[in-house]
Amino acid sequence: MKITPGGVVAAEWTKFSSLRSTWITTGISVLLLIVFGTIASASFSGDSLSAVDLALSGSTLAALAVGVLGALLAASEYTTGMIRATLAAVPRRLPVLWSKSLVAGLAALVVMTAGAFAAFALGSAVLNQDVGALGLGDDGVVRALVGAGLYLGLVAVLGVALGMLVRSSAGAIAILAGVLLIVPGLAALLPDAIADAITPYLPSNAGSAVMTLTQGEGTLAPWTGLAVFAGYVVVTLGVAAYRLKKSDA
């Protein structure tokens, strides 16, 4: 019996929602975003960060968590050998990658957007009096919160792409951590002229630009940064699609 694209998506959603690790990792992602944002809002004093910046201060760790979620969804089937059954049922192969990406990306987008708004609401309630309060009606606030969900949704898709590419949960997670956490630190060690030129275009810096209320000197505009990060994700998906199509499971 021919499996329709909708059937492939439904099958991937069933796998996604039936794994205990999915709910644990998703819960950790939201918890990191809300808890770190609330703590930062309550404890920070000064005017160098806005209420939105503080509320989303847990986004770096949340990004790592949702990336792990995507990597586990993609690579776990290679670990268990279930990928052979999946590809036997979907011989065209590529719909499996697109469906996994769609499921992980949309789930992360919805949950983390809600988490961003919750972090902002709780952060605003406990905001240090030295920091200016903001509301949803202020310029850029909704864009930053929705942008956080979009960025984290794309990180989940990047995790899927890496998982399908390297076919190892540990390997995909290591690469993801390196790209999001280690590479920006290494770039800071370069000569200033080089660092200033490349730092805004690094994946995590470009993607997180959409969450920033005010852009500093040398940073990308919000939607430009998100577009650059989306480009990284698309390229990685393309390489993963090529390997999936050309290599044995």
Closest CA to 229 of 163, 127, 161: 161
pLDDT tens per residue, range 80-98: 888 888 888 888 889 999 9
CA 7 to chain centre: 25
pLDDT tens per residue, range 172-200: 999 999 999 999 989 988 998 898 899 99
Distance, CA of 1 to CA of 236 (rounded, Å): 32
Q: Is the pLDDT of residue 2 over 70?
A: no
What residues make up the domain containing 237? 5-246
Structural domain total, the chain: 1
Closest CA to 78 of 2, 162, 5, 18: 162
The answer to whether 159 touches 68, Cβ cutoff 8 Å, is yes
| Residue with tokens 């011989």, as numbered in its chain | 91
State what percent of residues in the chain have pLDDT above 90.
65
Instruction: For the beta carbon of residue 14, count every other beta carbon within 10 angstroms.
Output: 11
User: DSSP 3-state helix, strand, coil percentages of the chain (rounded to 5)?
Assistant: 80, 0, 20
Distance, CA of 215 to CA of 192 (rounded, Å): 19
| Residue with tokens 């059937």, as numbered in its chain | 7
The structure's pTM equals: 0.93
pLDDT tens per residue, range 37-54: 999 999 887 777 889 999
